[in-house]
C-alpha cells in the first residue's frame, strides 16, 4: 500500500503544488540559472527553483548534505507526514530505506574539483566524501526515522527509482519488513554534467517534445520523489491513509547495447508487471510513459507497448510528463509514481505537452497538449534506462 508520497520537481516542490501544475500542463523547462551557459550548446534544463533547503529540509545534517540528499530528505518528510508516521518509527528493524540516485553527489564533485583545480586549494570540504556517495540519502533517511532494517542505495540510471520502489514491494511481500521508504532523487545539473551529456548528443537545446515529429533530444532536470509503502495489515492497524496499491512489478535487461534500446526487454518488463498484478493489458487505463523525447527511445517504447497491448494499444491513454518537468534521470520513476497515484485519485490523465504533430511512428493516444478527465483505476508506469535496464510498476486503487 502507498500511504504517503513526496516530490521535488521543476514545476513544484511538494505534491500539492506539483499536481495542479501537471493538470494545467505547466512547463518547468527554461534557461539554466544556476551556472553560466556561455560555452554550452544546450542552455535549458528543469531546475527546482522553488526548492530551499532552509524551508523544505528539517534536519540540520541533511541540510549539510549534497543537493540530491536534500531533495530526498524533503520528499521523505512530505511522504512521512502524509502517512501519519512519527519519528523514530516504532519498530525500526521492520522498516527499510531504499533511496537511489543515478549519479550521486554531482554538485559536490563539481565544487570540489573547482576548489582543487581552479582555486588551487589544498583540500576540499571535510564532508566531501559523505556528500558524494550514492547511499548517503538512504543513510540520512535511516537516521532521521530510526530505520534499522535494509538500508541502501540503488543505481540503475533512469530506472533507479522504479527499481527502488519495486525492491521495497518485494521485501514487504516477502515478510522481511512491514514498512519502507523508497524512491530516488537526482541533482546533476552542473556545468560539467551538461558538457558530458552534450558529448553524447542526446540533449535538445529547444525543449522536451516526447513522441513529437520535431523531437530532437531530452532535457535534463533535477528532482525526484519518495513513497511510503506498507503492508496492508500494518497500514490498516494504524488507520493509515491508503492512497493506492502497487499491484505489479517487472524488471528485465536488454543485454544488447548501452544506448540503443531493445523492444523485447521493454515489452517483457511490462508483461511481467501485468502478470504480477494479475491484470490483462485491456485493464490498464493509463500508461505513464518513459517518453524521453529522443528519436530512438520514443519509437521503441511505442512499439513495445504495441507488442504487449495488441488491439488494446489504440485504446489506452498514454502520456509523458517529462514534457513538463524534464528528465530527472534516476529520480524520474518516483516523480512518475506520484503522477500515477494522483491520476487514480483524481481520475485524470495528464497531457504530453508540446505535441502539435506526432511522429508517424508514434501513432498511439499520447494525450496531446491537454489532459483529460477519465476513469483511471489501473496505471502502468515505465522506466527504461541506458544499458537496457527496464523496470515497470502497476498501480491500482486502494482496496475496497
Asked whether 298 and 364 are in contact (CB, 8 A), the reply is: no
CA distances from residue 55 to 21, 63, 73, 184 in whole angstroms, order as listed: 21, 10, 12, 20
* pTM summary value: 0.98
Do 392 and 165 contact (CB within 8 A), yes or no? no
Q: Is 327 a catalytic residue?
A: yes
Question: What pLDDT, on the 0 to 100 scale, is given for residue 113?
Answer: 94
Which is catalytic among the residues 290, 325, 328, 362? 290
- What SS3 state is found at 398? coil
pLDDT score, position 400: 87
In tens digits, the chain (400 residues) has pLDDT values of 999 999 999 999 999 999 999 999 999 999 999 999 999 999 999 999 999 999 999 999 999 999 999 999 999 999 999 999 999 999 999 999 999 999 999 999 999 999 999 999 999 999 999 999 999 999 999 999 999 999 999 999 999 999 999 999 999 999 999 999 999 999 999 999 999 999 999 999 999 999 999 999 999 999 999 999 999 999 999 999 999 999 999 999 999 999 999 999 999 999 999 999 999 999 999 999 999 999 999 999 999 999 999 999 999 999 999 999 999 999 999 999 999 999 999 999 999 999 999 999 999 999 999 999 999 999 999 999 999 999 999 999 999 8
> In a 3-state reduction of DSSP, which class is residue 395?
strand
> DSSP of 298-348, one letter per residue?
HHHHHHHHHHHHGGGGGTSEEE-THHHH-B-GGGHHHHHHHHHHHHHHHTE
pLDDT for residue 297: 97
Which three cell numbers mark 261?
534500446
Assign domain 2-237 to a CATH class: alpha beta
**Sequence-distant (≥ 6) Cβ neighbours of residue 322 within 8 angstroms:** 208, 210, 218, 219, 221, 291, 292, 293, 332
Domain positions in the chain: 2-237, 246-393
Give yes or no: 56 in active site. no
Choose, from 42, 158, 328, 362, the residue flagged as catalytic: 158
Whole-number Å distance between alpha carbons of 286 and 396? 11
CA distances from 76 to 3, 226, 317 (A): 12, 6, 30
Tell me if residue 5 is catalytic. no
CATH number assigned to the domain covering 246-393: 3.40.47.10
Distance CA 74, CA 170 (A): 25
Domain 2-237 matches domain 246-393 at the CATH topology level: yes
- pLDDT recorded at residue 171: 98
Amino acid at each position: 500500500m502507498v500511504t504517503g508520497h513526496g516530490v521535488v520537481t521543476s514545476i513544484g516542490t511538494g505534491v500539492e503544488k506539483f499536481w495542479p501544475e501537471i493538470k494545467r500542463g505547466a512547463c518547468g523547462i527554461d534557461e539554466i540559472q544556476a551556472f553560466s551557459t556561455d560555452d554550452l550548446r544546450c542552455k535549458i534544463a528543469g531546475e527546482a527553483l522553488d526548492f530551499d533547503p532552509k524551508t523544505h529540509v528539517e534536519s540540520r545534517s541533511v541540510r549539510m548534505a549534497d543537493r540530491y540528499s536534500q531533495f530526498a530528505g524533503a520528499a521523505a518528510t512530505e511522504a512521512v507526514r502524509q502517512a501519519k508516521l512519527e519519528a523514530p518509527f516504532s519498530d525500526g528493524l521492520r522498516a527499510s530505506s531504499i533511496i537511489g540516485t543515478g549519479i550521486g553527489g554531482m554538485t559536490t564533485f563539481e565544487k570540489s574539483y573547482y576548489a582543487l583545480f581552479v582555486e588551487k586549494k589544498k583540500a576540499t570540504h571535510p564532508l566531501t566524501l559523505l556528500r558524494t556517495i550514492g547511499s548517503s540519502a538512504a543513510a540520512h533517511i535511516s537516521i532521521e526515522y530510526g530505520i534499522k532494517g535494509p538500508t541502501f542505495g540503488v543505481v540503475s540510471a533512469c530506472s533507479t527509482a522504479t527499481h527502488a520502489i519495486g525492491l521495497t514491494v518485494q521485501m514487504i511481500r516477502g515478510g522481511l519488513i512491514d514498512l519502507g521508504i523508497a524512491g530516488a532523487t537526482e541533482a546533476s545539473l552542473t556545468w560539467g554534467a551538461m558538457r558530458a551529456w552534450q558529448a553524447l548528443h542526446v540533449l535538445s537545446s529547444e525543449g522536451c517534445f516526447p513522441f513529437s515529429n520535431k523531437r530532437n533530444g531530452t532535457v535534463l532536470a533535477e528532482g525526484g520523489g519518495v513513497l511510503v509503502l506498507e503492508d496492508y495489515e500494518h497500514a490498516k492497524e494504524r488507520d493509515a491513509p491508503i492512497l493506492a496499491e502497487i499491484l505489479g512489478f517487472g524488471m528485465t535487461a536488454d543485454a544488447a547495447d548501452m544506448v540503443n534500446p531493445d523492444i523485447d526487454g521493454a515489452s517483457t518488463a511490462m508483461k511481467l508487471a501485468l502478470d504480477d498484478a494479475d491484470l490483462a493489458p485491456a485493464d490498464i487505463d493509463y500508461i505513464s510513459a518513459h517518453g524521453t523525447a529522443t528519436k530512438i527511445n520514443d519509437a521503441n517504447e511505442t512499439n513495445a507497448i504495441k507488442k504487449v497491448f495488441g488491439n488494446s494499444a489504440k485504446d489506452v491513454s498514454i502520456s509523458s510528463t517529462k514534457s513538463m518537468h524534464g528528465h530527472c534521470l534516476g529520480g524520474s520513476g518516483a516523480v512518475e509514481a506520484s503522477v500515477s497515484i494522483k491520476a487514480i485519485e483524481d481520475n485524470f490523465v495528464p497531457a504530453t505537452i508540446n505535441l502539435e504533430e506526432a511522429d508517424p511512428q508514434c501513432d498511439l493516444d499520447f494525450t496531446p497538449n491537454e489532459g483529460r478527465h477519465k476513469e483511471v483505476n489501473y496505471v502502468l508506469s515505465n522506466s527504461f534506462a541506458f544499458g537496457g535496464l527496464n523496470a515497470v510498476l502497476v498501480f491500482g486503487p486502494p482496496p475496497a
